[in-house]
Homo-oligomer: A and B are copies of this chain.
Amino acid sequence: MEYPSQLIEEAVNEISKLPGIGKKTALRLVLHLLKQPNEETRSLAQALVKMRDEIKFCKVCHNISDQEICRICTSPRRDNTVVCVIEDTRDVMAIENTGQYLGLYHVLGGVISPIEGIGPDNLNINSLLHRINASDSTIKELILALNPTMEGDTTSFFITKKISRPGLKITSLARGVPVGGELEYADEITLGRSIMARTHYQPN
């Protein structure tokens, strides 16, 4: 496609590097910015650069943070005997939104995926093992909450094989029919698992 201006072309090329945004969408966004005052574009650009330059990752759990150690890791209200292993920050936010979990986290930053060239050394797995295997570790339970894909399962398996601490309880998220979901629409594996793992009846 031929753009009416070099400046537009460069902006479109930069925006379309983002995942899920093609050249057409990028052009739509650029034309939108052109209809807004200059300050809109400037504050967008500044927010992005500031975010990228100043963001920190918690030295303990590797979650995104404003400080060296994040709010969750430093909170005295959190249960430091439980650590939940997740793929990225979005998973932390999703679990935090439930309000049901008061333990700590460990953000791997991805899952093992030979196809994409991501091995254990590209992830925050070593620091997780240090956290667990340290002599002064308070951790009694490890919740493996990776997505149930082949890569997620491989990563969970890899982690369990590397843990040398006896007596550590390793759990994973309950699989079953979603709350509010109808049985007839559940897939067989989920429904099968939800029967096998049935629980005592609790009225809502």
**Chain A residues near B (Cβ < 8 Å):** 1-8, 10-11, 13-15, 17-21, 25, 27-34, 38, 40-56, 63-66, 70-71, 88-90, 92-93, 96-97
Contact = CB atoms under 8 A, between A and B. Distances in A.
A38 B53 contact: yes
What are the nearest 5 A-B pairs in CB distance?
Answer: A45-B45, A41-B52, A11-B51, A14-B47, A7-B51
A38 B52 contact: yes
Contacts of A17: 40, 44
A50 B88 contact: no
Query: A-side binding surface: helix, strand, loop or mixed?
Result: helix
A34 B34 CA distance: 26
A4 to B, nearest CB: 4
Contacts of A96: 2
Contact of A34 (B43, B46, B64): B64
- Most chain B CB neighbours (cut-off 10 Å) among A2, A18, A52, A54: A52
Contacts of A42: 49, 52
Given A5-B66, A19-B28, A93-B4, A55 B43 contact: no
A48 B1 contact: no
Nearest to A7: B51
